[in-house]
Structure 1
Amino acid sequence: MTDIEAILFDKDGTLFDFDATWGAWARGVTFDLAGGDAALAGRLAEAIGYDLAAGRFRQHSPVIAGTVAEVAALIAPHLPGQSIAALVRDLDAAACRAPQVAAVNLARCLGGLRATGLRLGVATNDSESSARAQLEREGVCGFFDFIAGYDSGFGGKPEPGQLLAFAAHLGVAPAQVAMVGDSLHDLAAARAAGMRAVAVLTGPAPRATLAPAADVVLPTIDDLAGWLALS
C-alpha cells in the first residue's frame, strides 16, 4: 500500500506535451518580437534554444525549466530599448494564448487519481496566471487543490519553495508527496523538499538524463496509477 497522499505536477512536458505546446509559442514570439525581421527572429530563437528549422527545442533550452523572467533576460540584449519587465509581460501574454496539447487524456487521468483519494497540485516555472488559463481551457483546473507559478510567492524550481507550500497547504508531510516532472529542475526540487521524485518522458529530456535523479521514470502520467499500486 502506497504512503503517497498527494501528487504535485509540473505543467509543461508533464501535463502538456512540451514541443507540441511550446514550439508554436516559440516561433510566434520570436517573429512577433522581431517585427518580421527573419535574421533577428533567428537570433532570438537561438538565445532561447529553439531550432526554427527543425521545429523543436534543444535539450538544454532555458525555456524547458526556466522562468519567464530568465527567458526575457536572455533575449533582452537582442532587443535594445525593450525592458525586461515589458518582455516578461509580452511573453506571459503569449503563454496565455499558447496552443496546448495534452500529454494524455487529462480529465480521465486526473479524475482517476482523485477518485483514489489523492490530492493534486501544479508547480510550474511559468506564471500562475498563464498556468491557470491553460488548465481552465483544458477543463481540468478544478482537479487541483493548489496551483503555483514562479510569481506566486514561493520561488521557482529547482528550489523547493513551491513544493513545500503545497505540502503545507494540504497539511501533509513532504515525504507523503510525489513530485512529477520532465526535467532535472523538477527532480532536484523534489529531492530538496524531501518528496518522491517521479520523472516522465513527455518532455525533451531522455530517460538516460532523468533516471539517475529519479525514484522512477514513467512514460507518461497515465502510468502513475500502476506505479502507486506497486509502491
Structure 2
Amino acid sequence: MTIQALLFDKDGTLFDFSKTWNNYTLGVIEHFAAGSAERMQWIAETIEFDLVGCAFLPTSPIIAGTNREAAELLASAIDGKDADEVEIYLSESAKHVPLAPVLPLKPYLSDLKENGFALGVVTNDSEQAARDHLRSAEALDVFDFVAGYDSGFGEKPDPDPLLAFAQQIKSTPDKVAMIGDSTHDLIAGRRAGMVTIGVLTGLATETVLAEFADVILPDISHIPDWLTSA
C-alpha cells in the first residue's frame, strides 16, 4: 500500500469534538431559550443534546451534519426564528469558540508535509469556518486543499469533495487516506475508493466505525507510525 496524501475531517479529527463544541452548544441553546427552562429543554431534545451531561448524544444529526442542517434543526425548535437567521448566528458565534486541537497541529502537519504527503481537509462545516479554525490553530498554510459543504463539491458522505482533492493534487484516490471520526467520513472515503482511517476523538465508537474503516486509531497522532508499519 502506497499512501501519497492524507485527507482529514475537521471536527472530531483535527479538533476534539466534545472539548471544542459541547460548551459552545450549551451556550447556543441558552441563547435561543432566552431564559425559558422549558424552551431550553425542547431545543436540547430536538438536537439530541444532554443538558445534564453537557454533551451531544451519539445519535445527534448535528454531529456530522452541515452548518445549514444544524440551523434548520434548531430553527424547527425555536418560535419566530428562521433557518437563515439561525445560520448567521451559528456562523458568527462559532468564530470565537475555544478550539481544542487533538495535538499541536502545526508541527505535526509540517512533519507530514516534509515527508512528502499532500494534505487536505474536507468538512461538513462551511469552508470559511474551516479556514478560520485552521488559521486560529496556525495550521491553514500547511494544507493544499480545504473544502466545506458550501465549496461547490457537495458534502459527505458523498465522495465528490474527496475526489476533488485527489484531482487537485493529481493523485489517484487509492493513494489517498481519508481520516475521520464519523461514518459520514468513512463512507465517503469508501465511495471515493480511498483508504479509510477511523479515529476515536469524536463521538462514534470503535464498533460503529469498524464496518467502514480499514484501520481505527485512538487519534491522529498514531498515523505516522501506522503509515510506517503499513
Q: TM-score range by the shorter chain?
A: over 0.9
* CA–CA separation in structure 2 for the residues paired with 1:122 and 1:79: 32
* CA–CA separation in structure 1 for the residues paired with 2:210 and 2:3: 20
Q: Quote the RMSD (CA, aligned, Å).
A: 1.1
Shift of 1:36: 2.6
Instruction: Give 2:57's aligned residue.
Output: 58
Unaligned runs of 5+ in 2: none
* CA–CA separation in structure 2 for the residues paired with 1:160 and 1:33: 35
Shift of 1:105: 2.0
Instruction: Give 2:29's aligned residue.
Output: 30
- Deviation digits for residues 189-220 of structure 1, max 9, x if unmatched? 00111111100011111111111210000111
User: Would the aligned equivalents of 1:44 and 1:75 in 2 still touch at CA under 8 Å?
Assistant: yes
User: Would the aligned equivalents of 1:72 and 1:84 in 2 still touch at CA under 8 Å?
Assistant: yes
Q: Does 1:130 align with 2:156?
A: no
Shift of 1:64: 1.2
* CA–CA separation in structure 2 for the residues paired with 1:92 and 1:21: 15
Instruction: Give 1:73's aligned residue.
Output: 72
User: Would the aligned equivalents of 1:14 and 1:220 in 2 still touch at CA under 8 Å?
Assistant: yes
Instruction: Give 1:199's aligned residue.
Output: 198
For 2:154, give the aligned amino acid: G
- Deviation digits for residues 14-39 of structure 1, max 9, x if unmatched? 00000000012211111112223222
Instruction: Give 2:39's aligned residue.
Output: 40
User: Would the aligned equivalents of 1:96 and 1:131 in 2 still touch at CA under 8 Å?
Assistant: no
* CA–CA separation in structure 2 for the residues paired with 1:41 and 1:132: 31
3-state DSSP class of the match of 2:197?
Answer: strand
Q: Extract structure 1 runs of 4+ deviating beyond 6 A.
A: none
User: Would the aligned equivalents of 1:120 and 1:144 in 2 still touch at CA under 8 Å?
Assistant: yes
User: Would the aligned equivalents of 1:25 and 1:98 in 2 still touch at CA under 8 Å?
Assistant: yes
For 1:58, give the aligned amino acid: L
Q: Does 1:171 align with 2:166?
A: no
- Deviation digits for residues 72-99 of structure 1, max 9, x if unmatched? 2212222232221111111121222211
* CA–CA separation in structure 1 for the residues paired with 2:145 and 2:23: 27
- The TM-score normalised by the length of structure 2 is 0.96
- The TM-score normalised by the length of structure 1 is 0.96
User: Would the aligned equivalents of 1:104 and 1:220 in 2 still touch at CA under 8 Å?
Assistant: no
For 2:210, give the aligned amino acid: A
For 1:189, give the aligned amino acid: A
* CA–CA separation in structure 1 for the residues paired with 2:101 and 2:145: 19
Unaligned runs of 5+ in 1: none
Instruction: Give 1:17's aligned residue.
Output: 16
Shift of 1:108: 2.4
Shift of 1:54: 0.3
* CA–CA separation in structure 1 for the residues paired with 2:2 and 2:143: 20
User: Would the aligned equivalents of 1:198 and 1:215 in 2 still touch at CA under 8 Å?
Assistant: yes
Higher helix content, 1 or 2: 1
Instruction: Give 2:225's aligned residue.
Output: 226
User: Would the aligned equivalents of 1:96 and 1:129 in 2 still touch at CA under 8 Å?
Assistant: no
